[in-house]
A and B are shown apart, each in its own frame.
Chain A
Amino acid sequence: MKPESADSPLSIPNSSVHPLQELQDKGIQKLRVVTQTQLRETARKAVSRALLEMLDGLALPSEQHQQILARANQYMSPTIATAADRDEATEVVEEGREVTAPMIKVPSPVNPPMPTPAAAEQASASVSDGPLGKREKALLIQLSKLIARDWRTEMATVRDTQNTQVERLEMRIEELTLALQATDHAIAVNGDLEIDQLEVKSPFDHKKSELLDQLFQANVALREISESPQPGDLPSLPREGRSS
């Protein structure tokens, strides 16, 4: 890929000229040839369509509103490309070799997909004769940016994503609520049964209180003996380890 030459009749900044062989090497077999006039018309129609869409939301005096509307409708009417227009696409691409429409305009991928300045200039020039030239120009630039960002599609995508998440969360909350209700019900119904089962699983529980009492009595006896004045003359205890 090489930068577009400055003397090109269709000089567009940030665009590049590709030799046909390079494109063929990349697997591109067919190319559509679009004349400069067709490009201009397409750009005008796109801008006019966007202008019509935006016009309802703008608080403009009715006279200016009508003027913009008329101008936009004018550009929306179909035009016929002339032979001269087609000839404009003919350009010498390589040294001494003249081909018909070998030049492909490829916008630079690092830049946002904005309308080509050539088209914008054409559109701007076409409306600059009217009384709202500057305002129109500003509006057109703004519209161009909006179109480039495809804000409507983006907003719709975000809205759909959020709606999907909200719906999924609502469904999850509903599932958990049902599960909680089922658990509460099971606990309420089986609570007494489970307590009975636990009691059955511990067959020695009835002996534990007796064991604890025996252990306590043994420790009380140990304490009382140690507090006696003559620890050397101790009687043996029934539940005590043997003395060395």
Chain B
Amino acid sequence: MKPQNKAQKSQQRDVKTPKISSKTSLLHVGIDLGTSRSAIASSNGSREVMASLVGWPKDSVSAKVLGGQTLVGDAVLKNRLALNTCFPLKEGNLAFTRLSGSEQDLSRQAGVQLLAALRNACNPRPDQAVCAVIGAPAEATRENKQAIVDLANEAGIEGVMVVSEPFAVAYALDALENAIVIDIGAGTIDLCRMAGSLPGLEDQVTVFRAGNYVDQRLAELVREAHPEVQFTSNMIKMAKERFSSVIDTEKRAVVTFPIAGRPTPVDITDQIRSAVEELVPWITEAIQSLVASFDPEFQHLIRNRIIVSGGGSQVFGLQESLEQGLESLGGGRVLIVDDPVYAGAQGALKLAQEMPTEYWTRMRG
């Protein structure tokens, strides 16, 4: 169902950009706009992470049950049977830029709703103008970056700057020189080489095989091994996040999936390991390309400072597997950030806060 009813139109009006002249102070926010989950951190101390998912009631009954409202975030997952759902981002980019017609309108509106929900999660005061630095994939297209700015403005975010997501992580960690930052998300794996300046085209690589690809491969492998098992993509995703591992452990990944309607324990350890391991060669290949094209005199420095962030960084054993993969390049050292879910948003917030006020004034004008 399209966002045509009265309640939805009312919500659309609610997220229109307020008059800038009425704002007397700034609220800085950093946003990690992810394919699967999006995070926001603000200068008033609030932090929030939510599923990048928007849902509208399927019919009048569900509209009545849900109050006729558009749902955003994890609430959509809980009520998805009564909703038409939409992921506004695909492979790290806003999906509507690749769509047309009514699908494009729907996807675009979902993007606005998601950004509005993130903005509202920070509880800005009425007199505060929200100024955001938003992380985008390392190789985001110009059209996609501009689409992010437009949708953010529509969502009530007055000042918007777009930055490469791994660069935001690097800025948060002060790893601005001689480092490679890897952001493993659901849609993409973004790699960014930091050489003391704003990373350019040659400094960034995006791998379009990430968490969602693992989910897809895991579903295929489970279906091959246990054709009688019933599952959904969400069940596969939850199983992966709970048991993901790329090295041998004695712990077995046993999940309960229905078989002919009867809950049955199923061992999917081997399938998870195989699906996750498929990512490692892609990452090491991307690292190699960034190292090989770097100044030979400093290659050993960036090899020994590889920082991994994002939800995918929590895969058990990834650190060791990547270091093994770097052996062919002469070895390297891989570091996992402490707060992978919010590292990008915190870096973006740091950028927003340290950006001179006059820059924000110009961006808002």
Q: A: which residues have CB within 8 A of B?
A: 202, 204, 207-208, 210-212, 214-216, 218-220, 222-223, 225-226, 231, 234, 237-244
Contact = CB atoms under 8 A, between A and B. Distances in A.
Given A207-B196, A241-B201, A241-B204, A215 B161 contact: yes
Interface of B: 136-143, 145-146, 149-150, 160-164, 171, 174, 176-177, 196-201, 204, 351, 354-356, 359, 362-363
A207 B176 CA distance: 9
A244 B201 CA distance: 13
6 contacts: A216-B161, A216-B359, A226-B149, A226-B150, A239-B198, A244-B141
A242 B139 contact: yes
A204 B171 CA distance: 10
A223 B139 contact: no
B46 to A, nearest CB: 24
Contacts of A226: 146, 149-150
Contacts of A244: 141
A212 B28 CA distance: 15
A45 B172 CA distance: 87
Contacts of A210: 197
Contact of B351 (A215, A223, A225, A243): A215
B174 A238 contact: no
Nearest to A234: B142
Nearest to B204: A241
Nearest to B360: A216
Given A204-B196, A241-B140, A211 B176 contact: yes
A212 B142 contact: no
B142 A243 contact: yes
Given A212-B354, A238-B200, A241-B204, A225 B142 contact: yes
A128 to B, nearest CB: 81
Given A204-B177, A226-B149, A240-B142, 5 more contacts: A207-B196, A210-B197, A223-B363, A238-B200, A244-B141
Contacts of B164: 241
Nearest to B91: A244
B198 A240 contact: no
Nearest to B359: A216
Top 4 nearest A-B pairs by Cβ distance? A214-B198, A226-B146, A219-B161, A204-B176
A218 B174 CA distance: 21
A24 to B, nearest CB: 69
Contacts of B150: 226
B354 A222 contact: no
B197 A214 contact: yes
A243 B141 contact: yes
Contacts of A220: 362-363
A222 B143 CA distance: 9
Contacts of A241: 136-142, 145, 164, 201, 204
B348 to A, nearest CB: 11
Contacts of B141: 241-244
A202 B139 CA distance: 29
A214 B163 CA distance: 11
Given A215-B163, A241-B201, A208 B142 contact: no
A208 B146 contact: no
Contacts of B143: 231, 243
A237 to B, nearest CB: 7
A215 B136 CA distance: 13
Contacts of B363: 216, 219-220, 223
Nearest to B358: A216
Nearest to B133: A215
Contacts of B161: 215-216, 219
Contacts of B204: 241
B356 A222 contact: no
Contact of A222 (B138, B145, B174, B176): B145
A220 B149 CA distance: 11
A207 B194 CA distance: 12
Contacts of B176: 204, 207-208, 211
Contact of B174 (A202, A231, A240): A202
Given A208-B354, A212-B356, A241-B138, A218 B146 contact: no
A212 B196 contact: no
A47 B346 CA distance: 81
Contact of B142 (A215, A216, A222, A238): A222
